[in-house]
Structure 1
Amino acid sequence: MRFKVNPRVLRAGSPIFKTILKGRDCPIVLSGHTASQFRTFLWAVYAQPLPSAKSFDVARLCSIAEVSFKYDFNSLKLWSMEGIKSLVESPNTILRTAASETFVRLIRLALLYRDPALSRTVQSKWLTRLHWHDLPAAPALVVADAHDLRHLLYHAYYVHLVDVAPRIDREQPIDDGDSPLSTVQNLHVFCGYHSLLAAWKQLQESAPSFTPDAACSSHSKCLIAWNARWALETARVNAAFVPVDVLRRLLFMEQRLEVDAVAADCMTAGCMRAALHAIATKRAEISDNLHHYFDL
């Protein structure tokens, strides 16, 4: 595809174009981006004055930012990235409904432009969408592994495992043939499966320990009541979530036991608070150490 361009305008905005367009018949060979992306970039080059970037959709801004970076077109680099950050950081952020492909592009742009704040924001919103099971985890896992984004990687592994665990339970292939995960990545998924199953089995048999309240005069009664209610709720949680979803199981247990009238009647208030805190602590401990479960 050929584009009719104004060499003077391109040379004025970019030292790279000054080199490329030295002569009259020096073609621009597209590499690393599509003709459609370059067309969008050219529109922005010739737009005078540039409109507010906030009025553009994120896909067009990403195209302009990507091509502008390649050719070091500084004015458009600044304009497009300011627009992207405005859309991402808005109270009504586009990331609430964005597809996985948008998250991937934004992460790559944040890394390309060395913008850690943008990277953190995108990763945080992506993690939220993953744990809502609103997006597939595989794209996040692949991009996080490629760019060494460890926190995103660990949680993407976890959510992906929760999604595929029923297939593993039935001894079916871990995917239906179109998964982007490599053999090594799938091995890590299996490691997580067996490790988290073992972790839940241990929790099912024994509630997280807690320190007795200083005002408790009969802690043995508190323990009997707590262990009995724990056993009852673990039976209920087994029907609600897959066995490897230890994080949601613990959250469910904490929420149920927090309003458990029998536990409240049989335990001191201090021991009840300590027991609930022990569940939250165990959940945070597992969340912070997912890399151990997946052997990463």
Structure 2
Amino acid sequence: MVHLYVFNPAPKLRLLSTLFVRGSKRILGTVSESTSPLSAQSRSQQCTPFSLVPLEAPRLPEGQLVRDPDYYANSRKGFCAFLVENTLFNVHQVILSREPSAFDDMLCLPRPVDSTEGSEETPVFLTDTVEQFRDLLWALYAPPNELFHETGIDRLLNIAEMANKYCFFSLEAWTIEHIHALAADSATSGLLQSASPSTCGRIMDVAVLCGHVPLKELVAQRLVSRTLWYNTSPELILDIAERHGLRTLIGVCYYKQLISMECSGPSHSNSKATQMQMQTQTILPPSFNIDQSMLFLAAHRSLISLWEQIRSMPPPLPCEGCPSHSECELAWQIMWFQAGEVDETLRRGSADILGRMKSLMLGLRKAMADAPLMTMQCKMAALEAITGMRDEVLECLILHFTKTL
């Protein structure tokens, strides 16, 4: 939804009323000037190329207002003055009307002949920040080559937000595509990998605001990866996930919180009894209420149960055209059971199902590299099967934290 705070419909309504009454006079021919409902002041209004009726700006002492050093022109004719926070901008109307936008509509509204609206004395008051409005003007004034080479993510996000707010549709479309290209480019993949969670959240907000689904999905994927494998705090990511209803990311955040609560036992012990005892030690934070505690304890039990199912039943090995598929299946099952019992896999937390599956996959890759009984096509099918199982577990993590389980 576009929010515009600088419109006052009264001038346009007065113009429409004037046109309606004049048309009625021509048709009926019986309405006298003395009985006209319009005042002399209303009839004197004219439609000029510029009319803006600003909100009542905050009253600031004259000494506190500053002129923007880059976007304030010392001219009146054909220019429009804006007050943003405590900064005055004086912008050429041609720049604002270069393409259809909210400013283009505002500049065409009727105003009284003696109106000073849009001048430095009575500027149009906008509720944006100085940085936002300055970045929008930079985009409107900048030559194409500067736009295409711009990589500052904060500036691009400001431009996208402002273009969306003021209905610069072509500028909005170009900017959001440019942000997506920068985020997806392998040469600049660090954009989403190293950016702060707040910046990633803002990119997600802009992607949703502009309806750009590919960028939204890309940010969600990067945040899942960072939360799982790069120790990004799940508490910082959870707010983004819940704000936009990203169920997979919500499940990942809850999952990371849960496995961080597991108490680590002595890593030098190889006793399976000790390992089984470690599986039950989960320390919940004191800040949890009863409902949260019950939810996370139930999720803990559910994930342990799921791991036991996965370890005891390897995924099917579909492989058409293999001349010795039965031997491949038998070798696959043996390697699966062995990989699920190695210390590297069991050393992970009892609820750390994705960590255990990662160790399981590494063990299977090593085992299959030395497995002469499996054909290459069955080895590739086996790796695809474990990858598919891992992705399914990842997508369904949120289900372990629902009250229905």
Q: Same fold (TM over 0.5)?
A: yes
- Which of 116, 139, 158 is residue 44 of structure 1 equivalent to? 139
Amino acid at match of 1:237: T
Instruction: After TM superposition, list the pairs within 5 Å mapping 1:31-180 onto structure 2.
Output: 33-47=128-142, 51-74=146-169, 76-93=171-188, 94-166=191-263, 169=281, 171-173=283-285
TM-score calculated relative to the size of structure 1? 0.72
- Which of 90, 93, 97 is residue 12 of structure 1 equivalent to? 97
Deviations 1:154-200 (A, max 9, x none): 3343344334445994524177x9xxxx9988875554333213323
Q: How far is 1:278 from its partner?
A: 6.4
Please state whether the residue corresponding to 2:238 is helix, strand or coil.
helix
Give the match for residue 314 of structure 2.
208
Q: 2: distance between equivalents of 1:135 and 1:202?
A: 29
Give the match for residue 236 of structure 1.
344
Q: 1: distance between equivalents of 2:177 and 2:166?
A: 18
- Which of 195, 199, 222 is residue 306 of structure 2 equivalent to? 199
Q: 2: distance between equivalents of 1:286 and 1:246?
A: 9
Q: 2: distance between equivalents of 1:47 and 1:159?
A: 45
The alpha-carbon distance between structure 1 residues 275 and 207, as it changes in their structure 2 partners (threshold 3 A), is: farther
Q: 2: distance between equivalents of 1:6 and 1:184?
A: 57
- Which of 373, 378, 393 is residue 286 of structure 1 equivalent to? 393
Structure 2 unmatched ranges of 5 or more = 1-84, 112-116, 265-279, 319-323
Please state whether the residue corresponding to 1:52 is helix, strand or coil.
helix
The 10-residue stretch of structure 1 (12-21 or 144-153) with the greater mean CA deviation from structure 2: 12-21
Q: How far is 1:104 from its partner?
A: 0.9
The alpha-carbon distance between structure 1 residues 185 and 277, as it changes in their structure 2 partners (threshold 3 A), is: same
Structure with greater strand share of residues = 2
Structure with greater helix share of residues = 1
Cα pair 2:248 2:396 within 8 Å, conserved: no
Cα pair 1:37 1:67 within 8 Å, conserved: yes
Runs of 4+ with >6 A deviation: 182-187, 274-278
Deviations 1:209-251 (A, max 9, x none): 767976449x6x997x558724641x43222x22222122122
Give the match for residue 57 of structure 2.
none
Deviations 1:72-128 (A, max 9, x none): 234542453243233112221222322212211111111111111222222223323
The 10-residue stretch of structure 1 (248-257 or 158-167) with the greater mean CA deviation from structure 2: 158-167
CA-atom RMSD in angstroms: 4.2
The alpha-carbon distance between structure 1 residues 41 and 160, as it changes in their structure 2 partners (threshold 3 A), is: farther
The alpha-carbon distance between structure 1 residues 275 and 294, as it changes in their structure 2 partners (threshold 3 A), is: same
The alpha-carbon distance between structure 1 residues 183 and 7, as it changes in their structure 2 partners (threshold 3 A), is: farther
Q: 2: distance between equivalents of 1:42 and 1:185?
A: 48
The alpha-carbon distance between structure 1 residues 253 and 72, as it changes in their structure 2 partners (threshold 3 A), is: same
TM-score calculated relative to the size of structure 2? 0.55
Identity, in percent, stands at: 25
Q: 2: distance between equivalents of 1:80 and 1:222?
A: 50
